[in-house]
Amino acid sequence: MLTLLIGFAAVNTGNNLLYLLVSALLGFMAVSGVLGKWNLSGISVNCHPPAEVYDGLTTLMKVELFNRRRWLPGILLEVGYYDQKALFPIVDAKSSQQRLLEITFEGRGQHPAPTLRLSSRFPINFFIRHKTLETEKFITVFPRPQLCPMDQLQDPNIQFGNSLSLRKGQDGDINRISNYRGGEPLKRIHWKLSARQGQLKVKELSTTAHTPLILEINQLPGANLEQKLQHGAYLVTRMLRSGRPVGLQNGTMVIPPDTGLHHKQRLLHTLALYGQD
């Protein structure tokens, strides 16, 4: 508008000093356009979802922005996911930075990784340039754990607090500190340590020894398959958190009872994809 107005005055007065000013403003518009385009070029974004993502539960996804350019730093870059935005004020050339974004998936099973939007107002806030970052990654979304009665599943051998095991649980002492994987309750986050180390850390508690348990999917409580799987996810996480070995059976397919993170994910993965293969 300003350029048009001064341009109009320049043409009508023939004043070369006004022409100079208009030329500078036009030059500025051109250079700002190019600079804005450059700012988004050579930038790649990787999303690192947590190890456990549950249907309908909000979790924190790590977004890593990498500036592959040789000289030019990335300025005022924003990675957005719906109404959420992670701002990267200055990303040096040939370097990367990380931020966290809250994400929520609806429905269990394989989901394509969230489509992120890279945008920037740089260099001037007149236009916002953006590009959509498609990804071929898939994320397995586990069934949302649904509270279910556990009277029949009580471990008869163990009285609460009787003997401690080195396995992970939620009722013992702090056993060790590990990285946040997305499924742990917020009360278990060690905020002080997280702040000091720049990434979320959770307290892992010890547990007591328990009798192994095999869950048969069809026998799980619930009015329909989805409820059964949600109860199953709850039982898997609840039991494993208390240190009790859990297995899974569906007809001839049997996953023997075990504990540990890897085993937990295997069970949840099976529940997530159940009926979708």
Partner 1 sequence: MVKTKTLLNQICYLVAAISIAPVLGFLDFAFVLLAMGATVLGAWFDYKELHPIPGWGTSLVALAVIVNYSLQFSQEDIATPLVHVLISLLGIRMVSTKKGRDYLQIFVLGVFILAGSSLLSLNVEYIIYLVLMVFSITVGLVLLCVFETDSGLAFSSSQLLKLLRVAIVLPTGSLVLMALLFFILPRTSHPLWNFLNPTNKATSGLTEAVKPGAFAKISTGNQLAFRAESPELAPEDLYWRALVLNRPEREEWIRVTPPPEISHVVDKSPSLQLQIFPTSRNDKYLITLDRTTALHGVQHKKSSDHVYETRRKQSQRHSYQIDSKLGAPLTVIGQVDHEFYKALPEFTSVRVQSIAQNISVLPDTDTKLEALADFFRKQSLRYAETDLPSGPNVIEEFLFEKRQGYCEFFASAYVTLARLAGIPARLVGGYYGGEYNPLGSYYLVTEDKAHVWAEVLDNENRWHRVDPSLWATNAASTLGASRLNRLSMLQKITDSLNYYWIQAIVVFDFSRQITMFQESVKTIGSLSKPSVPTGYFWWSLGGVGTCLLIVISRHQRRLSREAKLLRKFQKRVARRYGSTILNETTGLSELAENVDSPHCREFARIYQQAVFTDRALRSTEWKILNSLLKKV
User: Which residues form the interface with partner 1 (CB under 8 A)?
Assistant: 2, 6-7, 9-28, 30-32, 34-35, 68, 72-73, 75-76, 78, 87, 89-90, 92, 121-125
The secondary structure of residue 185, as a DSSP letter, is -
Cβ distance to partner 1 smaller for residue 11 or 177: 11
* Distance (Å) of CA 33 to CA 69, 170, 206, 220, 242: 18, 56, 58, 60, 58
Cβ distance to partner 1 smaller for residue 28 or 138: 28
Give kind and range of the element (H or E) at residue 63: strand 59-67
| Residues making up the chain, counted from first to last | 277
Cβ distance to partner 1 smaller for residue 84 or 104: 84
> Cα(88)–Cα(159) distance, rounded to whole angstroms?
51
Q: Which token pair is 150?
A: 């556990």
Q: How far is the CB of 25 from partner 1 (least distance, A)?
A: 8
Whether the Cβ atoms of residue 63 and residue 47 lie closer than 8 Å to each other? yes
Whether the Cβ atoms of residue 273 and residue 142 lie closer than 8 Å to each other? no
Q: How far is the CB of 34 from partner 1 (least distance, A)?
A: 8
Q: How far is the CB of 230 from partner 1 (least distance, A)?
A: 40
Q: How far is the CB of 71 from partner 1 (least distance, A)?
A: 9
Q: How far is the CB of 90 from partner 1 (least distance, A)?
A: 5
Cβ distance to partner 1 smaller for residue 76 or 150: 76
Q: Angle, to 10 degrees, between the axis of helix 16-40 and the axis of helix 2-13?
A: 150
Cβ distance to partner 1 smaller for residue 18 or 150: 18
Cβ distance to partner 1 smaller for residue 25 or 189: 25
Q: How far is the CB of 31 from partner 1 (least distance, A)?
A: 4
Beta-bridge mates of residue 179: 201
